[in-house]
Each structure stands twice: as structure tokens, then as C-alpha cells.
């Protein structure tokens, strides 16, 4: 059954006079009353399962997985060459051991204790050297494999950070849980695949060449017979590898869907619990976990099955070759040559098995490589011009000129020829119905999206001519989902300057102006207190004041305040409002306002509806007997 539940932060029935903790939300089939601070936007898709979009943002056809990873492998050339050198030593030891082993029967027959001791010591030394070389080979190659997986991870995450907002939002957006899964679990799989490749290509080829030359040296005829059997082995392995690729791809997708689901539901625990959603979420999780189980089980079974098949083929091949060897040896072989030939053959089968294993690892890892690099293949729509300028300081004069915008081709216009001049230092409030496009104005000003026509000037510079970094340095956004991160209070306030040294004096000053200093000092470690995941240690009002302190710390000229709809107790609200008043001094402020008090703090108020802006006289917001919104604007204000 498809269940669609949408919890929206905008109250259907607003109660402006009672600024208590209650807002009422309406659903298709149920009405929920919740403390409004909990009213985060949370949607469970109709299909009840997070969808992994079929790469809608990718426009170019991807190169092969191997060519994707090769630049990262090249940067690990030192450990790779060291590992392969060790593998050459190991194969060298083996090539010397094989004739020694061949001489064992004759040595034993001679029964000379000197010779037995000498050959025995020589064999022991070679075997010890081979063990040491094998260990070093693996250690170096793991270093290279994990090093390149690390570089790939960093590269992919850097590209993810550069993505347009459209990559994360809307219909074509990639679920964040899926992105997290690719960069963590699937990048680890890539490391394993790279190791398997490095550890088998060159070492196995070396062993294959060494053993094949031993065999040709001993008996070209028998070697020819062996040469006819071996290609069949490779063909069967290639077929099985393709099969494994398909099974692995399915397993990666089911894992990604599970991760995306958890990423969506875990942050919304309050909503789930308040709605007795434990049962429904439990069964959704069970379905996804079961799909994941089946996907992984299929892959594991396949991985267990393939080596057995390879082994059976190898043993069958070995038997055929041994019997041919025996048949031929009756006439032309002495016993030590036969022994050496069979040993070489057995040691030739080993690298063939190794190559088969590596091929399967590659096929199993290919979906992870493809999915990981898919995150880097996107065509950005917000493009920085090569000759874009840096602005050191702006006064904050903003002009919107004929700005028209929609999120996608097939979607309606959100902004329709919007014109507005905001003077430096002015505070402008935007009000309007939910979905009217207020937040979109902020996104366009920050160039998270570009308008389809029209332009925006900041201090008479078209924002498309300003370097993105410089533009976003000049504008601070305080969004209604106050974004705080795990870390100390000081780190959260000085978020933009974390790469340098935090100026504690400035941090404390910003916190004092934002009315946050008092509560921060009461925290166990003051400014050094870790505020937990998303600031979970703090109340809603404290989070808001911390966000205001952050905005004050960064001396930007323009502030965009997307006012939270969640109600605070009257003291917290007063403290936040005072902090906002401080913030409005010397800044150009665009406030997406929901509270009458905040709206009244603005110099001008605009109603945004149907993509059009209309100035509203502040007096029309008040009735004669005091602070109460007029009936037509009543629904827009808390």
C-alpha cells in the first residue's frame, strides 16, 4: 500500500495570538498536534522506499572503471613498484626452488648427508626469502590500494561539495544516504578491488612466465598441450565474471537504498515516535534489509561458487596434463624432470587461479567504481566566469531586475519578472504563502541557482560576474533549520574561518551581541563545549542565537534571515529578537519573516505571491486596536 505522509512546517491553522508551543498540522488522513519546534520537513515517499535516481545529472558517457582509477593509481607508484619488486623476488625464489625440488629424489637416492644438508639449507633459505618477499609485497600493495582509495574518496567528496544545489534537491537529487554509502562503504570496496588487481596482475604474470619457461625448457610438447587447455579456463572465468558483475551491481543498489532510508528516517525520530510510526518504519526497514540480504547473499554465494568452479577446472586440467606427462615421460623423461614439470605446472595453475580471482574482484568492484565516479560526473549550471571579480567589501546595495526563475523545465515559474531595489543598510521583509518562493529569492541571491532571465546586481556588479566564493563571503544566510555541526561552540561560531586560527575575542564579542554569551558560559566547558550532533545539546532558542552569533562573527554586509516558524518561550523570543536588532545594524537584511514582530522591524515589507512581488504598507498589518495582522494577511503571519 502506498502511504504518503507529508509534514510541512507551515501551519494549516495558524493561531497568531497564542504564541504557545502548539501548531496544528493537517494530513491527508490524519491530523497531528506537535510541539512546533519538531516540525521539520520530513517526507516519506509514496512508494515508501527511497528511490535511487537513475543518474539524471550525468550527461557524458562514463569512461571504463579502470581508466577512472588509473590517475589515482599512478600517484601511488612508489609502493606499487616496491610491491611488484618484492613479487619478482618471490617468483625468482620460486623459480630456483622448482629445480631444487626436482633434484630431491636424486639427492635422497645419493644419500650423501653433506649434499642433503646443503640442498636442504638452500631450500629453507629460498622458502624463507619467498615468505618475507610475499609479506612485503602484500604490505606495499595494500598501502597503494588503500592510499588510492583514500585519494579517490577525497576527490569524489570534493566534487560533491562543488555540486549545484540541484544535485541534492528536487526530483533528480541524489539521496544523501546514498552519497554517504558510496563515499564510505563503496569506496572501501574500491580499495579491495584495487588491491586484488595490483596483487594479481604483475605478480601472477611474473609467476606465469617463470613457470611457463620452466615447462617449455623441460618439455615443449607437454607445454603445448598445456597451452591448449589454459585459454578455456580464461574463457570460463570471463563468463563467470560478467555474471558476478550483475549480481554485485544489484547488491550495491539494495545496500544504497537501505542507507538512504536510514539517513531519512533516523533524523526524524521525534516524528516517528509521536506518530506511533515504530511499526510502519519497522516493516519498511525489514523490507529494505531483506532486499539487501538477498542482494548480498546472492553475491556471497556467487563469490563462493566461482573459486570452486575454477578449482574444478584447474584440477581437471591438471589431471589431463599429468596423464599426458606420464604418457610422454615413459619414453623421454627422467624422474627429476617429470617432478619439476609437474611442480611447475601446479605452480602455473596457481597464478591462473589468481588472475581469475582478480578478474572476479574487478567485476565485483566495478559497480562500486562506477557509482562512486558517477558522483563526479555532472554538468554544473551555476558557472563561475573565468574573469569573475573578487569583491573585498560591499555596501550591500541589491537590485533584482526582471528576475524570472523555475526549478526545472516542466515546473511552473516560482519568480516572475521580479524587480526590487534594496538600498545598502535597509531591512526588507518578505511575507507570502507557503511555497510562494521566498526561500528561492535567497537561493538565487547566493547563486545556488541562476535565474532563467533577468539579473541581480550587488553594489552594481552583476552577481554572475563575481567569484562565487567572494559573493558568498559577502552574504550570510541564517536558515530556519539552524545548521550547527558537531564541534565546540567556538568552532560553530567561527565556522567560515576554521581553516585558520579562531579569534576567540571576536567569537565572544559576537556571542555577547547575539545574547548567547550567558548560556554559553553556563555550559560545562563554556566555548569549548561540544554541542553534539546538529547542536542536539542546545534548545531551539539557543541554536538560533548561536546562528546569529555566527553571522555577526563573519563581517558580511548582507544577511538573509529565513526566520524559524517554531515558537519559542517569550524570554527566548525576546533574546532572539534583541539579537536580530543588533544584527540589523550596519547590514542589508533580507528577512523571510513569519512573526509580526519581525515584520515590523523591517523598513519595507513585500508580499511574494504567484511569483510577483507587491509592497505592503506596514500599517495594513495592524488593526486599530494594536498589533494584529489584517484579515487578508492573517494567515501568513504567526
Q: Is 201 helix (H, G, I), strand (E, B) or coil?
A: helix
The distance of Cα 410 from the centroid of its chain, to the nearest Å, equals 28
Q: 1-40: which residues touch ligand ATP (CB under 6 A)?
A: 10
Q: 594-623: which residues touch ligand ATP (CB under 6 A)?
A: none
Q: Show the binding pattern over residues 87-126: x = contacts ligand ATP (CB under 6 A), - = does not.
A: ----------------------------------------
CB of 89 to ligand ATP, least distance (A): 58
Half-sphere CA count of 44, side-chain side, radius 13 A: 22
Answer yes or no: are the C-beta atoms of 418 and 454 closer than 8 Å.
yes
With a CB cutoff of 8 Å and minimum separation 6, the contacts of 369 are 65, 68, 69, 190, 193
Give the C-alpha separation, 419 to 433, whole Å: 19
Among 63, 71, 170, 532, binds ligand ATP (CB under 6 A): 170
CB of 381 to ligand ATP, least distance (A): 12
Among 284, 363, 438, 543, binds ligand ATP (CB under 6 A): 438
Relative orientation angle of helices 187-218 and 113-162, to the nearest 10 degrees: 150
Q: Could you tell me the sign of the dihedral formed by the alpha carbons of 464, 468, 471, 476, in that order?
A: positive
Residue nearest to ligand ATP (CB): 170
CB of 450 to ligand ATP, least distance (A): 14
Q: Could you tell me the sign of the dihedral formed by the alpha carbons of 554, 556, 560, 561, in that order?
A: positive
User: Considering only CA atoms, which of 591, 580, 594, 611 is closest in space to residue 429?
Assistant: 591
Cβ proximity to ligand ATP: between 50 and 436 the closer is 436
CB of 384 to ligand ATP, least distance (A): 21
Q: Examine residue 434 and tell whether it contacts ligand ATP (CB under 6 A).
A: yes
Cβ proximity to ligand ATP: between 26 and 434 the closer is 434
Q: How far is CA 47 from CA 5, 251, 509, in A?
A: 11, 20, 50
Cβ proximity to ligand ATP: between 299 and 443 the closer is 443
Interacting span for ligand ATP (CB under 6 A) from 106-114, 260-268, 372-380, 435-443: 435-443
User: Considering only CA atoms, which of 426, 428, 463 is closest in space to residue 587?
Assistant: 426
User: Considering only CA atoms, which of 162, 150, 187 is closest in space to residue 72?
Assistant: 150
Among 183, 222, 414, 429, binds ligand ATP (CB under 6 A): 414
Q: Residue 211 has which C-alpha cell?
A: 613457470
Q: What are phi and psi of 628, to 5 degrees?
A: -150, 135
Q: Examine residue 432 and tell whether it contacts ligand ATP (CB under 6 A).
A: yes
With a CB cutoff of 8 Å and minimum separation 6, the contacts of 490 are 502, 504, 507, 527, 528
Q: Examine residue 71 and tell whether it contacts ligand ATP (CB under 6 A).
A: no
Cβ proximity to ligand ATP: between 16 and 105 the closer is 16
Q: Residue 478 has which C-alpha cell?
A: 541564517
CB of 21 to ligand ATP, least distance (A): 20
Interacting span for ligand ATP (CB under 6 A) from 68-76, 384-392, 431-439, 597-605: 431-439
End-to-end alpha carbon distance in the chain: 36
Residues pairing with 456 in the sheet: 400
Q: Examine residue 311 and tell whether it contacts ligand ATP (CB under 6 A).
A: no
Give the C-alpha separation, 312 to 1, whole Å: 48
CB of 355 to ligand ATP, least distance (A): 48
Cβ proximity to ligand ATP: between 41 and 64 the closer is 41
* Burial of 54: CB neighbours in 10 Å, binned 0-12, 13-18, 19+: exposed
With a CB cutoff of 8 Å and minimum separation 6, the contacts of 538 are 484, 531, 546
Q: Examine residue 416 and tell whether it contacts ligand ATP (CB under 6 A).
A: no
Cβ proximity to ligand ATP: between 241 and 437 the closer is 437
CB of 580 to ligand ATP, least distance (A): 18
CB of 407 to ligand ATP, least distance (A): 3
Q: How far is CA 490 from CA 519, 541, 545, 546, in A?
A: 13, 17, 13, 10
Q: Examine residue 407 and tell whether it contacts ligand ATP (CB under 6 A).
A: yes
Give the C-alpha separation, 258 to 182, whole Å: 12
CB of 422 to ligand ATP, least distance (A): 18
Q: Examine residue 402 and tell whether it contacts ligand ATP (CB under 6 A).
A: no
Cβ proximity to ligand ATP: between 395 and 416 the closer is 416
Q: Examine residue 566 and tell whether it contacts ligand ATP (CB under 6 A).
A: no
Interacting span for ligand ATP (CB under 6 A) from 177-185, 233-241, 436-444, 568-576: 436-444
Among 201, 439, 539, 609, binds ligand ATP (CB under 6 A): 439
Q: Examine residue 403 and tell whether it contacts ligand ATP (CB under 6 A).
A: no
Q: Examine residue 436 and tell whether it contacts ligand ATP (CB under 6 A).
A: yes
Interacting span for ligand ATP (CB under 6 A) from 26-34, 281-289, 341-349, 438-446: 438-446
DSSP of 157-198: HHHHHHS-GGGTSSTTPPPHHHHHHIIIIIHHHHHHHHHHHH
Applying CB under 6 A, the residues found at the interface with ligand ATP are: 10, 169-170, 407, 414, 432, 434-440
Amino acid at each position: 500500500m502506498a502511504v504518503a505522509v507529508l509534514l510541512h512546517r507551515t501551519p494549516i491553522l495558524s493561531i497568531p495570538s497564542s504564541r504557545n508551543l502548539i501548531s496544528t498540522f493537517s494530513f491527508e488522513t490524519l491530523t497531528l498536534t506537535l510541539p512546533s519546534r519538531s516540525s521539520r520537513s520530513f517526507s516519506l515517499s509514496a512508494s515508501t522506499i527511497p528511490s535511487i535516481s537513475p543518474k539524471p545529472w550525468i550527461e557524458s558517457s562514463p569512461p571504463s572503471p579502470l581508466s577512472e582509477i588509473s590517475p589515482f593509481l599512478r600517484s601511488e607508484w612508489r609502493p606499487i613498484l616496491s610491491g611488484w619488486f618484492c613479487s619478482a623476488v618471490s617468483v625468482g625464489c620460486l623459480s630456483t626452488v622448482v629445480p631444487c625440488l626436482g633434484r630431491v629424489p636424486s639427492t635422497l637416492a645419493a644419500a650423501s648427508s653433506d649434499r642433503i644438508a646443503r640442498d636442504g639449507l638452500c631450500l629453507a633459505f629460498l622458502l624463507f626469502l619467498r615468505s618475507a618477499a610475499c609479506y612485503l609485497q602484500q604490505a606495499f600493495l595494500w598501502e597503494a590500494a588503500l592510499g588510492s582509495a583514500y585519494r579517490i574518496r577525497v576527490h569524489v567528496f570534493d566534487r560533491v561539495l562543488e555540486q549545484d544545489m540541484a544535485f541534492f534537491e528536487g526530483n533528480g537529487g541524489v539521496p544523501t544516504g546514498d552519497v554517504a554509502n558510496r563515499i564510505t562503504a563503496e569506496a572501501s570496496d574500491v580499495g579491495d578491488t584495487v588491491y586484488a588487481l595490483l596483487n594479481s596482475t604483475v605478480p601472477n604474470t611474473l609467476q606465469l612466465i617463470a613457470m611457463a619457461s620452466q615447462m617449455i625448457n623441460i618439455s615443449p610438447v607437454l607445454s603445448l598441450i598445456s597451452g591448449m587447455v589454459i585459454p578455456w579456463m580464461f574463457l570460463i572465468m570471463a563468463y563467470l565474471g560478467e555474471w558476478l558483475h550483475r549480481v554485485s551491481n544489484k547488491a550495491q543498489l539494495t545496500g544504497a537504498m537501505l542507507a538512504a532510508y536510514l539517513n531519512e528516517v533516523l533524523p526524524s525520530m521525534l516524528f516517528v515516535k509521536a506518530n506511533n510510526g515504530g511499526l510502519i518504519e519497522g516493516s519498511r526497514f525489514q523490507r529494505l534489509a531483506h532486499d539487501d540480504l538477498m542482494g548480498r547473499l546472492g553475491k556471497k554465494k556467487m563469490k563462493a561458487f566461482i573459486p570452486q568452479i575454477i578449482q574444478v577446472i584447474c584440477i581437471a586440467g591438471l589431471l589431463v596434463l599429468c596423464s599426458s606427462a606420464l604418457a610422454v615421460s615413459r619414453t623421454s623423461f627422467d624422474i627429476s624432470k617429470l617432478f619439476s614439470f609437474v611442480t611447475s605446472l601446479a605452480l602455473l595453475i596457481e597464478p591462473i587461479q589468481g588472475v581469475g580471482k582478480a578478474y572476479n574482484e574487478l567485476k565485483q568492484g566495478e559497480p562500486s567504481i562506477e557509482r562512486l565516479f558517477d558522483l563526479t560526473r555532472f554538468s554544473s549550471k551555476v558557472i563561475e566566469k573565468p574573469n569573475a571579480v573578487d569583491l573585498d567589501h560591499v555596501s550591500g546595495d541589491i537590485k533584482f531586475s526582471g528576475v524570472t526563475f523555475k526549478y526545472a523545465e516542466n515546473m511552473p515559474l516560482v519568480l516572475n519578472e521580479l524587480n526590487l531595489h534594496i538600498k545598502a543598510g535597509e531591512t526588507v521583509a518578505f511575507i507570502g504563502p507557503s511555497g510562494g518562493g521566498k526561500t528561492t529569492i535567497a537561493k538565487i541571491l547566493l547563486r545556488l541557482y541562476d535565474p532563467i532571465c533577468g539579473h541581480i546586481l550587488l553594489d552594481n556588479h552583476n552577481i554572475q560576474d563575481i567569484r562565487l566564493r567572494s559573493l558568498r563571503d559577502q552574504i550570510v544566510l541564517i536558515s530556519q533549520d539552524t545548521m550547527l555541526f558537531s564541534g565546540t561552540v567556538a568552532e560553530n561560531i567561527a565556522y567560515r574561518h576554521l581553516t585558520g586560527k579562531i579569534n576567540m575575542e571576536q567569537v565572544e564579542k559576537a556571542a555577547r551581541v547575539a545574547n548567547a554569551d550567558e548560556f554559553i558560559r553556563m555550559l560545562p566547558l563554556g566555548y569549548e563545549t561540544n554541542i553534539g550532533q546538529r547542536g542536539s545539546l542546545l534548545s531551539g532558542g539557543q541554536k538560533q542565537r548561536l546562528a546569529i552569533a555566527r553571522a555577526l562573527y563573519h563581517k558580511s554586509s548582507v544577511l538573509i534571515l529565513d526566520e524559524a516558524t517554531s515558537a519559542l518561550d517569550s524570554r527566548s523570543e525576546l533574546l532572539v529578537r534583541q539579537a536580530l536588532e543588533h544584527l540589523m545594524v550596519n547590514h542589508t537584511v533580507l528577512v523571510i519573516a513569519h512573526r509580526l514582530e519581525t515584520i515590523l522591524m523591517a523598513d519595507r515589507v513585500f508580499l511574494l505571491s504567484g511569483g510577483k512581488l507587491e509592497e505592503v504598507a506596514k500599517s495594513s498589518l495592524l488593526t486599530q486596536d494594536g498589533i494584529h495582522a489584517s484579515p487578508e494577511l492573517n494567515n501568513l503571519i504567526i
